[in-house]
Amino acid sequence: MANVKREILSQGQFDGACLLYAIMNAYKTLTKGKTKTCEKKWYKLIENLPSVNSYLNGVGSGGIDLDLEQEIVVTKSIINNAFLLLGGKKHRLVVKQLKKITDLKKTKLKESVLIFCIINKGLKSTFHKRTIKDHWITVVSKDKESCFIQCSYAIHDVNDYREINIDKSDRYYNDSFKVDNINGKNVHPDFIYSVSLR
């Protein structure tokens, strides 16, 4: 990878911190935050996690020994608390849990982003032609056909890593997939969140 100025925050090769990076990429996109500012916010986020071990040992958000119902509650709490902490006094970040795949498809992303977990069978990306599964991502833009995403692991997974600016905005993506391919087999409806800046 040549000297490319990266805007999308990337996780480590061995950690399971994709949820945390989806949160940070959402924050950075919505607040137009600089990487140095995000670094300080990252430390605050880490200090307030219930269990850092599950994220750093490669297991991720599913690494806390819970059944699905408990995991949904804990994940919601982590996401809500993270955006409360990250926003601080300067930014009011509003988190809304979406309950249906159709809500995800209908959500407008001009003033918001989506974060959600791709599960089981995964989603085939159209930009890098890879299958993404068991991974949290940030959706920063979409049109009728495609979702444009920030994947914190893409830098480790593709040979020709690129970040593309969306219409000269402050939003960047590094992969995409077809909106019509999203369904209950690859996205769990209890792990879809809209985040907006108010």
What does pTM read for this prediction? 0.90
Indicate whether 108 pLDDT > 80.
Answer: yes
Of 36-45, 63-72, 76-85, minimum mean pLDDT range = 63-72
Indicate whether 159 pLDDT > 90.
Answer: no
pLDDT number for residue 65: 57
Q: For every residue of the chain, which 3-state class applies, written as one string?
A: CCCCCCCCCCCCCCCCCHHHHHHHHHHHHHHCCCHHHHHHHHHHHHHCCCCCHHHHCCCHHHHCCCCHHHHHHHHHHHHHHHHHHHHCCCCCEEEEEECCHHHHHHCCCCCEEEEEEECCCCEECCCCCCEECCEEEEEEEECCCEEEEECCCHHHHCCCCCCEECCCCCCEECEEEEHHHCCCCCEEEEEEEEEEEC
pLDDT number for residue 48: 86
